Structure 1
Amino acid sequence: MYLAGEYGFEIFSKYIKEDFLDKKRPKKIFHYTNIYGLENILKKGFFWVSDANFLNDKNEIKYTFELSKKIFSSICEERGFSDETTREYNIFFNSMIENNKNLYSLSFCTNPDSNLLWANYSQNDGYCIAFDWKGFYKYMDRNEKFLLIPGYVIYDKNKQTKKLKNLLNDIIDILEEGTHLESKISSAFTALEFYSLFFKDRCFSQEEEFRIILYPKVDKETYKCRISNGTFIPYVETEFDTGSVIGVTIGPKNNMDINSEGLYKFLHQIKEFDYSKVKIGKSKIPYRF
Structure 2
Amino acid sequence: MTRYEDFMKNEEIREFWNSNLNNRCICLPKGNLYHYTSANVLASIMQNQTFWVTKSNFMNDLSEIDYASKLFLERLECSKLNKEDRREFKESFESARDKGLFDNIYVFCLSGNQDSLPMWNYYGKNDGYNIGVSPELVADLANLEYIKKKTFKNSNFTESEGKKCVEINTHEKVSFKHIIKANYVLYDKDKQIKIFDLLLEEINFLIENGKDVKQMLDLLVDFIPFMKHSSYHNEEEYRILIQLKPAGSNPLKLNKIQKYRVFNGALIPYISLKLNNPEYFKSIGIGPCNLNSLSLVGIEDLVATYPSKLEIGKSKVPSRF
TM-score range normalised by the length of the shorter chain: 0.7 to 0.9
**Cα separation, 1, equivalents of 2:234 and 2:72:** 24
Q: 1:58 maps to which residue?
A: 62
2:230 maps to amino acid: R
Q: Which has the higher contact order (CA 8 A, sep 6+)?
A: 1
Measured after TM superposition, the shift of residue 17 of structure 1 is 8.7
2:28–2:138: 8 Å Cα contact kept in structure 1?
no
**Cα separation, 2, equivalents of 1:121 and 1:53:** 18
> What TM-score do the two structures reach when normalised by structure 2?
0.75
1:42–1:242: 8 Å Cα contact kept in structure 2?
no
- Give the number of equivalent residue pairs: 271
1:168 maps to amino acid: L
Measured after TM superposition, the shift of residue 132 of structure 1 is 1.9
| 16-25 vs 30-39, which moves further | 16-25
Measured after TM superposition, the shift of residue 281 of structure 1 is 2.1
Measured after TM superposition, the shift of residue 9 of structure 1 is 6.9
* 1:230 counterpart (246, 265, 268): 265
Using a 3 Å threshold, how does the CA distance of structure 1 residues 12 and 230 change in structure 2: closer, same or farther?
Answer: farther
1:106–1:212: 8 Å Cα contact kept in structure 2?
yes
2:95 maps to amino acid: S
2:260 maps to amino acid: C
Q: 1:193 maps to which residue?
A: 221
**Cα separation, 2, equivalents of 1:239 and 1:11:** 36
Using a 3 Å threshold, how does the CA distance of structure 1 residues 17 and 49 change in structure 2: closer, same or farther?
Answer: farther
Structure 1 segment 154-165 matched on structure 2, within 5 A: 154-165=186-197
Q: Secondary structure of 2:132's partner?
A: strand
Q: 1:274 maps to which residue?
A: 307
* 1:117 counterpart (116, 119, 122): 119
Measured after TM superposition, the shift of residue 124 of structure 1 is 4.0
**Cα separation, 2, equivalents of 1:147 and 1:93:** 21
Q: 2:243 maps to which residue?
A: 215
- Residue 91 (structure 2) pairs with residue 91 (structure 1): yes
**Cα separation, 2, equivalents of 1:129 and 1:228:** 21
2:13–2:195: 8 Å Cα contact kept in structure 1?
no
1:12–1:188: 8 Å Cα contact kept in structure 2?
no
| 43-52 vs 145-154, which moves further | 145-154
- Residue 47 (structure 2) pairs with residue 47 (structure 1): no
Structure 1 segment 10-89 matched on structure 2, within 5 A: 18=14, 19-20=16-17, 21-22=19-20, 23=27, 25-75=29-79, 78-79=80-81, 81=82, 83-89=83-89
**Cα separation, 2, equivalents of 1:230 and 1:90:** 36
Q: Secondary structure of 2:221's partner?
A: helix
1:243 maps to amino acid: E
Please state which structure has a larger fraction of its residues in helix. 1
Structure 1 segment 257-268 matched on structure 2, within 5 A: 257-268=293-304
Q: Secondary structure of 1:56's partner?
A: coil
* 2:317 counterpart (281, 285, 289): 285
> What TM-score do the two structures reach when normalised by structure 1?
0.83
- Residue 232 (structure 2) pairs with residue 204 (structure 1): yes
Could you list the runs of 5+ residues in structure 2 that have no partner in the other structure?
21-26, 145-165, 168-176
Using a 3 Å threshold, how does the CA distance of structure 1 residues 24 and 87 change in structure 2: closer, same or farther?
Answer: closer
1:211 maps to amino acid: R
- Residue 182 (structure 2) pairs with residue 150 (structure 1): yes
Kindly, what percent of the aligned residue pairs are identical? 30
**Cα separation, 2, equivalents of 1:89 and 1:138:** 35
Measured after TM superposition, the shift of residue 217 of structure 1 is 4.9
**Cα separation, 1, equivalents of 2:234 and 2:280:** 25
Q: 2:133 maps to which residue?
A: 131
RMSD over equivalenced CA pairs, Å: 2.7
Q: Secondary structure of 1:129's partner?
A: strand
Measured after TM superposition, the shift of residue 73 of structure 1 is 1.5
2:133–2:280: 8 Å Cα contact kept in structure 1?
yes
Q: 2:200 maps to which residue?
A: 168
| 63-72 vs 137-146, which moves further | 137-146
Using a 3 Å threshold, how does the CA distance of structure 1 residues 24 and 262 change in structure 2: closer, same or farther?
Answer: closer
Q: 2:151 maps to which residue?
A: none
**Cα separation, 2, equivalents of 1:121 and 1:265:** 23
Q: Secondary structure of 1:194's partner?
A: coil
Spell out, residue by residue over 1:9-57, the C-alpha distance to the aligned partner (whole angstroms, 9 max, x if none).
Answer: 7599668994423346321101100001101111111111011121111
Q: 1:242 maps to which residue?
A: 278
Please state which structure has a larger fraction of its residues in strand. 2
Could you list the runs of 5+ residues in structure 1 that have no partner in the other structure?
1-5
1:248 maps to amino acid: I
**Cα separation, 1, equivalents of 2:118 and 2:49:** 26
2:89 maps to amino acid: Y
